[in-house]
Amino acid sequence: MRGGATGKSVSKEFANRKSQINYICPVHNFTPMTNSNPDSNSNPLLQEWNTPYELPPFELIRPEHFRPAVEEAIIIARREVDEVISDTAEPGFRNTIEALENAGELLNRITPILFNLNSSDTTPELQEAAREVSPLLTNFANDITLNPELFKKVKSVYDRKESMALDPEQLILLDRRYKGFVRGGAGLSEDDKEKFRAITVELSTLSLKFEENVLAETNDFTLHLASEDELSGLPAGVRESASALAREKGMEGWLFTLHAPSYVPFMQYADRRDLRERMFRAYTRRAFRGNEHDNRELVLRIVELRLEMARLLGYENYASYALEERMASAPEDVSQFLQKLLEASVPAGRRDLKDVEEFARTLGHEGRLERWDWAYYSEKLRMVRFSIDDEALRPYMPLDKVTEAVLGLATRLYRLRFVVNREIPVYNEEVTAYEVHDGSNGIIAILMLDFHPRKGKSGGAWMTGFREQSREQVIGQESLTTEHQGRRIIPVVSLVMNFTRPTTERPSLLSHSEMNTLLHEFGHALHGMLSDCTYESLSGTNVKRDFVELPSQIMENWAWEKEWLDTWAAHYKTGEKIPSEMLHSLRESITYNEGYSCMRQLSFGLLDMAWHMLEEPFRGDIVSFERTAMAPAELLPAAEGACMSVSFAHLFSGGYAAGYYGYKWAEVLDADAFSLFREKGIFDRETAESFRRNILEKGGSREPDELFRAFRGREPSPDALIERSGFRKT
């Protein structure tokens, strides 16, 4: 997810280990047990939810409810796990692997609420609750994977898997469960198990603190402008939003922030170079100012702990540990992949830089381009070359129409229908909830859309879930085939964005790149909503990290297709369609600065791998380390005082450690996959049905390469990406 991370509902480092024991079980089977906690009768998290689709009763839930609820749920979960351990029957798939999959039902309906709210609608009290709960959850996960009796049972089943009549999904579940124990420290000595416990508990706390610091730093800065002259170059819509924000704060003039809807257009359009520099430096110094929110020590400690954990488990570095369960199975594979893309993109990137530099000089720019100049001059050159820029398209992309169009695309491709239901509980009044209907299959999912920035919302955009898809296990069903399992538990998916708010003068108008973001995250949502797996820990986006971006990135392709844009994009005032020449220019601009953009993305992947291929703790200067790591893919001079690592949430508070390369990896897959839509037609139902059946419905119940071959009929080829990126042009 660009700008975010899937599965943001669970506690960061802990989320990477959630396959060891299922942490989001079907709430439909939940029956409140005898209460060991006298306060449970008044705690809504511990009660049956008589709400539409058994969603959380958000209006009743308070931050102080979470710790006692989690403590009670852990007690119940321990009993369920103890039943697996104490079972005197021979360990088998049903009484061991499946029993563990279904354990922790109450705990698994509580934790997504806390961690989703902590990312999308947090308060100091919620942040404190998350800090209190994370070590409890990590300790409980450790108690499962480090239990020798339980591991013995799991290993017994794993060793006999060839003699069992297991179907492919069950084999995947067994493999994940067994590897989860091994990778979770089950084979360590007792002394090393204690070290492992300490490491994972500390990591769970530090990753939360990292995210809190970035949010605090983002909220801390504002640029208050009082003169019209200072607004030179800024489009009317940007000015109106800044004026509305200033009025909201009881101030005159215009107020700009580091949140994307304010920061990005300011850097693209503000003529005042000194103000662009001021905004840029504030953005790149977040969590790097030597105050209580400085993340330097957290970065070094998180990297050190990850390395220590990997070495404890027998790996040379953390990347080797993480990549073992990815499509790219080793650091060398990732390094070769990044290097191959870098070699392909460098000539185009240098050409892009030269073009923008020469253009800037024609406008009177003297000296070298700095990082606060790039967005400004490259956007102006795009306008000259293609007579189009993000602002020119905004009037044709009001948020309500974009939303309707994106949902309508799913209707056209997959026959889904989205119906607003205002009776469904939501966590903030700005959130809209939809029932997702699928013909004769009925309601197959609930979708929540949350579009605008708030003080308590993290930056970026992401898909997450309050409940994941699964199928009820049939009580007493001894057959090992999954085809006779019970009814499908519908997932509850949430998309969280940070789009420009409407003002009194105009509605929320999206740039083309923002519309792209919505398509991207909606692709993740489709992956979650259309999932049709038996086991929750394998459903939806619970796939290998470098495969998870395929369903999201393939959706971005429609953003450039005239055939789709013509069906809905119209000026919010006049109702006129986007002019044909503008759509032609948009299509022509698809490769504009793609070399530079690719190199920039690769630089992030190089930084990620540099941190996680360390084989000794790093004690030096973070900035020097960062610059050295990113240098092969950098085109612009470094900015003094800037540091990316300290606000790189994907790596240090998300799930992308040693995995950021996955965005580019998935681009190879998505370009190749979409080439089949191009061949058959971008709305071709047969192709869409194949993508749904072979990719979206399968989740992690099959290996990714098997799923891709089933859809495409062959192994993925990078040719489509190279062609789409324009790297073959001279």
Q: Which two tokens stand for residue 40?
A: 């449970």
Residues 6 or more apart whose Cβ sits within 8 Å of residue 288: 294, 295, 296, 641, 642, 643, 646, 647
Helix axes 331-362, 662-680, angle to 10 degrees: 80
CA nearest to 55, candidates 530, 464, 466:
466
- From the CA atom positions of the chain, what is the Rg in Å? 25
Contacting residues for 138 by C-beta, under 8 A, at least 6 apart: 11, 13, 14, 200, 201, 203, 204
For residue 464, what is the DSSP state? E
User: Which DSSP helix (H) or strand (E) runs through 496?
Assistant: strand 492-496
437, containing H or E segment: strand 432-437
657 and 374 Cβ atoms separated by less than 8 Å: no
Token code pair at residue 23 = 């942490």
Q: Which of 521, 536, 556, 594 is catalytic?
A: 521
Q: Give the Cα separation of 432 and 311 in Å (integer).
A: 46
Question: In three state form, how does the secondary structure of 623-678 look?
Answer: HHHHHHHHHHHCCCCCCCCCCCHHHCHHHHCCCCCCCCCHHHHHHHHHHHHHHHHH
Which helix or strand (DSSP H or E) is residue 492 part of?
Answer: strand 492-496
Are 32 and 47 in contact by the 8 Å Cβ rule? The answer is yes
Q: Which residues lie below 8 Å from residue 433, measured CB to CB, with a gap of 6+?
A: 420, 421, 422, 424, 425, 426, 446, 447, 448
Which of these, 174, 272, 208, lies nearest to 649 by C-alpha position?
208
- Helix (H, G, I), strand (E, B), or coil: what is residue 684? coil
Question: What is the residue whose two structure tokens read 């099959």?
Answer: 702
Active site annotation includes 343: no
Closest by CA to 71, choosing from 47, 40, 95, is 40
Per-residue H/E/C for 322-355? HHCCCCCCCHHHHHHHHHHHHHHHHHHHHHHHHH
- Residue 291 makes CB contacts below 8 A (sequence gap 6+) with none
Place of tokens 């009763």: 57
For tokens 């800090």, the residue is 131
DSSP state letter for 509: B
Q: Are 614 and 317 in contact (CB under 8 A)?
A: yes
Report the alpha-carbon distance of residue 133 to residue 417 in Å, rounded.
38
Q: Which of 589, 551, 508 is nearest to 698 (CA)?
A: 551
Q: Catalytic residue positions?
A: 521
